[in-house]
Amino acid sequence: MEKKQYERPIIKSLNAGLMNKFGTRTEYAPMTHIDNVAVKDLIREFGSPLFVLSERKIRDNFKTAKRIFETRYPKVQFAWSYKTNYINAICNIFHQEGSWAEVVSRFEYEKALKNGVPGKKILFNGPDKTDDDLRTAIKNDSPIHIDHLDELYRLIELATELKTKPRVAIRVNMDTGVYPMWDRFGFNYENGQAWDAINKIMATDKLNLIGLHCHIGTYMLVPSAYGVAANKMADLALGVKKRYNKVISYIDMGGGFASKNTLKGSMQLGVDYVPEINQYAEAICSTLLNAGFDKDELPYLYLETGRALIDDAGFLLGSVISNKRLSDGRRATIMDFGVNILFTAFWYDHKVSPAQEFGMHTEDSVIYGPLCMNIDVVRENISLPPLKAGDQVVVHYVGAYNITQSMQFIALRPAVVLIDLSGKPHVIKQKESLKDVENNEVMPDYLKKIKL
C-alpha cells in the first residue's frame, strides 16, 4: 500500500485572543516554482539559503514603469539606483533597458564605469565625495549632485584647478507634508538654502548648473507628496530661468516609490495599500506639465526608482532547521537565514510561503534566523502550515537592499541566482567562501604560531 503524505499534527485554539491578522489562505499558499523552475531543484543545485531573481519580472517592472511615465511626459530618463541592488548582472539588465546609473559613493561609481556606463550617464549623489572622487567625476563629465556647501566650495576650487566647468545639480530637500522630513541631505527649499546655493553657483560662473535633484524619502505611501515636491522643483527651475535666463535641463525626482512589501505592524497587507506607480507618475507628470515651462524648455524628468522596480523580482529560498515551542505556547520555527541576509526584516513583515503543499491547517508561529542573537527575528507573528525540519520556504519581495546591505556575520553569504527569460538559472554571485572573507586579513608574524 502506498503510504500517505505526512504532516505534523497541530491543534489550534479558535477562541484564544485575536485571530491572526494575516491568516488568509493566499498568504501561506505554497510557492513551489519561480518562473517555472522548482524551488526544490534550485536549492538542490545551489544550496540553501539562496537568493533568486527573476529577469522576466525585472524587465517587466522596468518596461511598465517606463511606459507609465512616457505616456504622461515626453522626456523621461531612468537611472538605476545602484545601492538598491548592485550585482553587476542586475545593473546590466537595467542598462540594457536604457537606464543610466545613479550612484552615491566612489565604490558604486567605479562599478558603473566598469559596467560600461559612460561617465556622462552616471549621476553622482551622496554627501561623501572626496576631492579625488570629484576630480574623477569632473574628468568623466558626470553630473554631480551637490549635497552641501562644503562640497559646493570644493567643486569651485577643483573646477578652477582643472580649468573645466563641471556639470552640476543641487540636491533639494523640502516639506512635502510627509514626516519625518528628509532634511539632512541637500539644501532646504523653504528656508532659502536652495536659493543660496543656486545664487552661489550662478555668481561664480565656474559650475554649469544643469539640473535639480530631490529624493523626498523612501517607501513613500502618499503619491501626492511627489506632486508637492515636483511643484517646488519646478518653481526653482522657473526661478533660475527668470533670474538668470538659464534653462534647467533636468529635474531629478529621485526614488522612493513603495514596493509591495508590508510595513511592520501594519494591519493590512502591502499589496492592498501600496500605491501603483501610475499614481506617483500622475502626481509628478501633471505637476511638471502644468508648471508653466515653455514648450521647448520643458526639463527632462529623471527618476532614480529603486525598490519599486526590483523588490518583487527577488526571492530568498531557505530551509527549516528546527521547530520549538515557546513558553507562551507559540510555535517557533528556526530557519537557515536570518537578519544577516534579510536586513529588511527589521521594517517589513515579509511574506513567507512554504515551498511544498500542505493541508489547510496553520499555526501561529514566530520565525527566527540562525544567528545567536535575540534580534534575529524574521517574522514576529505569522500563520504557517506545520513545517518540519528540512522543509523549504520562499520569502517574497526581497530584491531591494537585502543583498547590498547583507552582513557577513558568523556565516558565509549565500549565492545569488538569476533566472533568465527562458527559465535557465545563472549564478550571478557565488556563495561566499572562507577564503573570500579572510582575503583581506593580515596575520602579524608573531601571531602565526599557536600551541594549545
Partner 1 sequence: MKIKNNIALSDSGFLFNPSTGDSYSVNPIGQEIIRLFQEHKTMDDVVKLITKEYRIDKDTVEKDLYDFQNMLQSYKLSE
Residues that bind ligand PLP (CB under 6 A): 81, 84, 102, 125, 215, 218, 254-257, 304-308, 400
Relative to beta strand 314-325, strand 50-54 is: antiparallel
Tell me how far, at minimum, the Cβ of 254 lies from ligand PLP, in Å. 4
**CB burial of residue 20 (10 Å; 0-12, 13-18, 19+):** middle
Note whether 72 binds partner 1 by CB under 8 A.
no
Note whether 163 binds partner 1 by CB under 8 A.
no
Note whether 449 binds partner 1 by CB under 8 A.
no
304 interacts with, out of ligand PLP, partner 1, none, CB within 5 to 8 A per kind:
ligand PLP
Alpha-carbon dihedral angle through residues 58, 429, 44, 389, given to the nearest 10 degrees: -90
**With respect to partner 1, which residue has the nearer C-beta, 323 or 404?**
323
HSE-CB for 132 with a 13 A CA cutoff: 4
Note whether 329 binds partner 1 by CB under 8 A.
yes
- Find the binding residues for partner 1 in span 33-52 (CB under 8 A): none
Tell me how far, at minimum, the Cβ of 219 lies from ligand PLP, in Å. 6
416 interacts with, out of ligand PLP, partner 1, none, CB within 5 to 8 A per kind:
none
Nearest to 428, CA basis, from 30, 50, 17? 50
Nearest to 144, CA basis, from 84, 207, 81? 207
Tell me how far, at minimum, the Cβ of 258 lies from ligand PLP, in Å. 8
Q: Are 286 and 235 in contact (CB under 8 A)?
A: no
What's the grid cell of residue 259? 514596493
Distance CA 319, CA 406 (A): 18
Distance CA 256, CA 259 (A): 9
Count how many residues are written for the chain. Answer: 452
**With respect to partner 1, which residue has the nearer C-beta, 27 or 364?**
364
Note whether 18 binds partner 1 by CB under 8 A.
no
Letter for the amino acid at 93?
I
15 interacts with, out of partner 1, ligand PLP, none, CB within 5 to 8 A per kind:
partner 1
Residue with cell 529635474: 251
- Member of 5, 245, 374, 439 binding partner 1 (CB under 8 A): 5
7 interacts with, out of partner 1, ligand PLP, none, CB within 5 to 8 A per kind:
partner 1
Note whether 325 binds partner 1 by CB under 8 A.
yes
Which residue stretch of 4-12, 92-100, 403-411, 414-422 sits at the interface with partner 1 (rule: CB under 8 A)? 4-12
Q: What angle do CA 355, 361, 367 make, to 5 degrees?
A: 55
Which residue stretch of 7-15, 28-36, 412-420, 421-429 sits at the interface with partner 1 (rule: CB under 8 A)? 7-15
Tell me how far, at minimum, the Cβ of 112 lies from partner 1, in Å. 50
Nearest to 333, CA basis, from 364, 358, 356? 364
Relative to beta strand 144-146, strand 76-81 is: unpaired
Query: Which neighbouring-strand residues pair with 352?
Result: 395
- Find the binding residues for partner 1 in span 342-371 (CB under 8 A): 359-361
What's the grid cell of residue 406? 547583507
84 interacts with, out of partner 1, ligand PLP, none, CB within 5 to 8 A per kind:
ligand PLP
452 interacts with, out of ligand PLP, partner 1, none, CB within 5 to 8 A per kind:
none
Note whether 323 binds partner 1 by CB under 8 A.
yes
Distance CA 267, CA 270 (A): 9
Phi, psi of 146 (to 5 degrees): -80, 130
Direct distance between the N- and C-terminal alpha carbons of the chain, in angstroms, rounded to an integer: 58
Note whether 295 binds partner 1 by CB under 8 A.
no
What's the grid cell of residue 345? 526584516
**With respect to ligand PLP, which residue has the nearer C-beta, 204 or 266?**
266
**With respect to ligand PLP, which residue has the nearer C-beta, 303 or 416?**
303
Cis peptide, bond prior to residue 180, ω within 30 of zero:
yes
66 interacts with, out of ligand PLP, partner 1, none, CB within 5 to 8 A per kind:
none
Note whether 12 binds partner 1 by CB under 8 A.
yes
- Find the binding residues for partner 1 in span 380-399 (CB under 8 A): 386, 388-389
HSE-CB for 4 with a 13 A CA cutoff: 5
Beta carbons within 8 Å of 363's beta carbon, 6+ residues apart: 10, 12, 331, 383, 384, 385, 386
Which residue stretch of 9-17, 70-78, 112-120, 233-241 sits at the interface with partner 1 (rule: CB under 8 A)? 9-17
**CB burial of residue 267 (10 Å; 0-12, 13-18, 19+):** exposed
Torsion sign (Cα): 196, 202, 203, 207 = positive
Tell me how far, at minimum, the Cβ of 2 lies from partner 1, in Å. 9
256 interacts with, out of partner 1, ligand PLP, none, CB within 5 to 8 A per kind:
ligand PLP
**With respect to ligand PLP, which residue has the nearer C-beta, 257 or 368?**
257
5 interacts with, out of ligand PLP, partner 1, none, CB within 5 to 8 A per kind:
partner 1
Footprint of partner 1 (CB under 8 A): 3-16, 323, 325, 329, 359-361, 386, 388-389
